[in-house]
Amino acid sequence: MAMKETTAPCNALTIDVEDYFQVSAFAPHIPRTEWTIRECRVERNIDVILRMLDDHETKATFFTLGWIAERYPDVVRHIVDNGHELASHGYGHERASDQTPESFYADINVAKLILEDLSGQEVKGYRAPSFSIGERNLWAFECLEKAGYRYSSSIYPIHHDHYGMPNAPRQAHTIGGLTEIPATTLRFLNRNWPASGGGYFRLMPYSLSHWMISHINRVDQMSAVFYFHPWEIDVDQPKIPGIGIKTRFRHYVNIHRMEYRLRRLLADFKWGRMDQLFLRRD
C-alpha cells in the first residue's frame, strides 16, 4: 500500500448518496413513479463504502437524498455513527435548474428537516444534483441561506453539455452568507479541467487523476474536493435497457475498476469532511 502524502493539504472526500435508477441521465427511461418498485441497492453499497473508509481511517461527507433517508433511515444512522458528515443532496434528485425558486426551496427545506430529524445533527451542507447551479439560477443561494444551510458544493467550473459554470472561482468563496465550495478543477492551457471524480475518475487512467490532485495540492496549495456515487462501485446493478450509447458509456465505464481505484486514492492522499476543512469553527 502506498504511503499517504504528509505535506500536502487534506482533501475533502464526498459521496452523493443516490441509487442507480435516480441518475439524471436515466430520467427519460425511468419515471419517478417507478422508483418505489425498483430494486434499491444503496444500503449494500453504503455498507461497502463505510467499511472501505474505516479500513483507511478516513472520514467523509455524504450528500444524501431525503428520498433515500426516508426509506432507509439506517443508512443515515450508519453514516453518522461512523463519524462522517451528513449533508443534503435535496429531496428528490431534481436539478435546481429545472425548478422554480419556490419548488427548489421546498425541496431543500424538507430534505434538511428529514436528515436532521433522523440524525439528530445539524445539516450544514448541500450539493445540487448534477451540479445544477449556474449563472441562470444564482437565486438558489438565497434559498439555501434561507433554509439554514451554511455551505454549498453545487458549482462545477467547467464546460459540460449538462452543467457547468466555467468562469466561476475554482476555490471556495462566499456568496451572500453562504460558502460555495466548487468541485475541483485543474487550470491548464487557459481552461479548467475536471479533477473531482465521478465519471471522469472512472474514464481517466488512475495515474492521471493522481497527478492532477497532487498538482492541485502542491502547486495550487488547494484542498481537492472529490466525489463519487454508491452505484459507481456496484458491478451487479441492474442494466437499464433502451439508453443511448453515450449515456451507457458514461454510466458503466470502468465500474469494475472503481473500488480498487478508490482504495488507492484513499491510501495515496489525506482525506476529511467538508465541514471540518472549509467552515470556521464556532
> Could you read off the pLDDT of 196-230 as tens digits, one per residue?
998 999 999 999 999 999 999 999 999 999 999 99
Task: Report the C-alpha gap between 69 and 152 in whole angstroms.
Answer: 19
Q: Which residue has the cell 449533508?
A: 87
Assess whether pLDDT exceeds 80 at residue 55.
yes
Asked if pLDDT for residue 276 goes beyond 50, the answer is yes
- What does the pLDDT average to over 245-266? 96
Q: What is the CA radius of gyration of the chain?
A: 18
Report how far residue 48's alpha carbon sits from residue 63's, in angstroms, rounded to the nearest whole number. 17
**What is the number of residues in the chain?**
282
pLDDT class of 36 with cuts at 50, 70, 90? very high
User: What value does the mean pLDDT of the chain take?
Assistant: 94
Grid cell for residue 85: 458528515
Q: Report the SS3 class of residue 185.
A: strand
pLDDT at 23 exceeding the cut of 90: yes
Which candidate, 134, 225, 132, places its Cα nearest to that of 186? 225
d(CA 120, CA 278): 22
- For residue 7, pLDDT beyond 80: no
Q: Which domains does the chain have, with CATH numbers?
A: 11-278 (3.20.20.370)
Least reliable range by pLDDT among 13-27, 111-125, 156-170? 156-170
Query: Rounded distance, CA 51 to CA 58, Å?
Result: 10
Please count the other Cβ atoms lying within 10 Å of the Cβ belonging to residue 252: 17
Give residue-wise pLDDT tens across range 151-207: 999 999 987 666 668 888 999 999 999 999 999 999 988 899 999 998 999 999 999
